[in-house]
Amino acid sequence: MAGPTEPTRKRRRPALSCVECRRRKVKCDRNSPCGQCRAHKSTVCTYAVAHDTGLERQPSQRAQGPVLAEAADQGASAPQQPASGSTNLTIGETTGLGTSIVSEGSVRCIPPDLDSTHSIPQNLSVNSSTPQVPPGPFHGILSKTRVFGHGHWMSSVPLVDSLPFSKDMPERSGEQISEAIAKCKQLARDIKKQLPSRSPLPTSIHQLLPGRPVLDELVQLYFDTFETCYRILHTKLFRAEYESYLRDPDAATTPFKVKLLLVMAIAAPLHGDAQAYNDLAAKARTSIQVAQGWLSAPFEKDRLTLDGIQIHCLLLLARQVNRVGADLAWISAGSLIRIAMQMGLHQDPSNLGESSVLQGELRRRLWYTILELNVQAALDSGMAPMITAADYNTQPPSNLDDADLVEASGECPRAKASSIPTATSVLRLLANSLPLRLEATRVINDLQDNPSYDQVLRLGNDLASDCRGARIFVDQLMSAEHDMSTHQARRFKYNFCEHYLSRFLLSLHHPYAIQSKRNPLYSYSQKVCLEAALDLVSLLEDRVYRRLLLSGGGMYRDIVTRGAVVIFLELITQLEANNSIFSKQRNRARREPLLEDARKVVQYTHDRLWYGETNVRGYLFARMAMAQVEALLDGLPVKEAVINAAGQSLAVCRHILESMAASSLSISASPSDIASWTYGDMLAMPTVADTDFDFLSSENISFDLSDPYFVQQWTDQCWPQHLFNSEEEPRQEPSHGGVNLGVTAEE
């Protein structure tokens, strides 16, 4: 019978011998590799830190990774110092020829085939709502800015010590060899500086930036909008570099210049100055080409930095906001994920050794920003996100402001309670639902199997729950007395989250909502999609977000690509169900709010053309669908009304595109050195010549919006030419934040 519980035995000193010497029970000289392993020609010599069993250890002299604690009332924390029964690993950089340097409390390289008794768990407390598991032991190799698995050639470098020439090297000869290697390295650096990819930006790059007052407004606008949701830049560090740039532009580094160009390009469409809109839009597109050219040069290892990652993120965002290759962002996002993983951003900084609190938090922020950009691009491209929650163990960023990280000075600041708004609140909120949205994207874009409707309902309910929780959370953030952000920033965060999360719900139910007219079983999907579509239309009421929806591509044209069909389908279904004109007129007042939203969609698609949209089919579809609705309301022939609306809308489109083409020629061209540096017209915007108007057929057109191939049926046909000569109806020109854009229509 077992006696009373004995106190835990305390080990007097930790085991310092390597794993193999402990197994052989021989003395170890604690070198790396040790003498015994060299004598036995062991391929691996590793040191494992034993589990503490109650021993009070002295604090290590080595700095540990970031220790970021969450407030106790949230019941969660970021990685903490290990408690008894666990040991914290710190993986440092590989030095010299890759020899694994080992010290007490740290392991640089751990082979994956160690016995389980030597595995070293991490004691990490994470937010209960965060599905990521705590990061386990790191089994790779860290070299400079990259991490490798054991398939990389550097894993065999420790074997060099076993070769005869590496032993008993005379000291003098070793010094001579080191000096010769240093000279060769310097010559190699000089040669690399002459490569085209290392060439500086064109000297006239400063001409792409507007004057100081407008530039200041654009920088502030960027930080009040997208930087409150994504976390790409550190506000204080960027501001400091910005002030230095204004004092001496030539002294600024190339990465900062590229980042500043992209910040300007992202904020340009959101600026309220209608007079400067065309000029800013042209400069934004050229800036995107410059950044793309800089990144598209033959890839070099010197781009594997946090600056390079930030530029990649900003470029992806700028392309979507300015509608430059926005539909192809998934390809670039996939490349960005691979770059980030090569740099180890998918591994929590606590696994990667001695990094500052600032560096660790920047890596977490960038990784979750990249994941968000990727999942959104995958949804828009109709492709799989190509990553799962099991592929990374990076913890969400801590609830800290940028100033907290700068003032930390080596100490790990205590994270604020989740109820206190910080610069990372929105990104942390999105991180909670990220695994669910990754799963939903895979289901939505699965090219092999159709999900069961039960699976769709389950995912939909989970997404709806996340959307409701996000609304409540953002409402609390906006009303919190601790929120020091501007009113514009608070409004943008709310609208962004509303749009960002609900679009997954809309995309999930959209195929079934279209079929609800024929199969009442899917009427719930129609209801869900209608609510989400109306939420999208309501975003137009905010001035800044409306400008984004007018100028952007990808997710920022959801009203056209997803919302419009749902709204018009609901109206047409209701009107066709009421056959009598009397009942239609009687219920018109009840339908008026939905009719008003439909009119907003028509006006929105029209205004997008004035903002540079060259695809006329969105406006054409909205006009045709609205004509069908009005014909059903008034008891008029549907087909004739739709044909007339198509002819009138095409005439409007032709006029707008001709005006756009003429105005684009009047905008001053880029300096010659910039034009040549950006690889010609690699990312040139389409012009009126790229637009085909003859794509409809009056004989084969179908008016059934419930047909899955509805759009394809009427977009690849050809209308009679006389329809293009129909008289244009009076047009309401768009306003840019209350100011007319200045492009007049000729009546």
SS3 per-residue string spanning 89-132: CCCCCCECCCECCCECCECCCCCCCCCHHHCCCCCCCCCCCCCC
Residues 551, 555: Cα–Cα separation, whole Å? 11
Residues 260, 295: Cα–Cα separation, whole Å? 15
**H-run or E-run covering 434:** helix 425-444
Residues 162, 165: Cα–Cα separation, whole Å? 9
- Return the pLDDT at 678: 55
CA–CA distance from 146 to each of 106, 344, 391, 421 (Å)? Answer: 19, 6, 17, 34
Q: Nearest CA to 45 among 115, 2, 102?
A: 102
| Confidence tier at 683 by pLDDT (50, 70, 90) | very low
Report whether pLDDT(92) > 60. Answer: no
| Confidence tier at 188 by pLDDT (50, 70, 90) | confident
Is 10 within 8 Å of 53 (Cβ atoms)?
A: yes
Q: Is the peptide bond before 131 cis (omega within 30 degrees of 0)?
A: no
% of the chain residues with pLDDT over 70 = 66
Residues 297, 669: Cα–Cα separation, whole Å? 23
| Confidence tier at 575 by pLDDT (50, 70, 90) | confident
Mean pLDDT of the region 255-267: 96
The size of the chain, in residues, is 747
Report whether pLDDT(72) > 60. Answer: no
Token pair belonging to 743: 């492009």
- The SS3 call for residue 562 is helix
44 or 647: which leads in pLDDT: 647
Mean pLDDT of the region 273-297: 87
- Return the pLDDT at 681: 39
| Confidence tier at 574 by pLDDT (50, 70, 90) | confident
| Confidence tier at 18 by pLDDT (50, 70, 90) | confident
Q: What share of the chain is helix, strand, coil (3-state, %, to 5)?
A: 60, 0, 40
**H-run or E-run covering 295:** helix 277-296
Residues 246, 211: Cα–Cα separation, whole Å? 11
Report the chain's terminal Cα–Cα distance, integer Å: 102
- Return the pLDDT at 704: 52
pTM exceeds cut of 0.85? no
- Return the pLDDT at 724: 38
Region class of 552: left (phi > 0), else alpha (psi between -120 and 50), else beta = beta
- The SS3 call for residue 350 is helix
- Return the pLDDT at 185: 84
Please give the mean pLDDT across all residues of the chain: 75
Is 169 within 8 Å of 131 (Cβ atoms)?
A: no
Phi, psi of 571 (to 5 degrees): -65, -45
CA–CA distance from 513 to each of 246, 260, 566 (Å)? Answer: 53, 43, 7
Token pair belonging to 392: 């990374």
| Confidence tier at 295 by pLDDT (50, 70, 90) | confident
Query: Quick count: other Cβ atoms within 10 Å of Cβ 675?
Result: 15
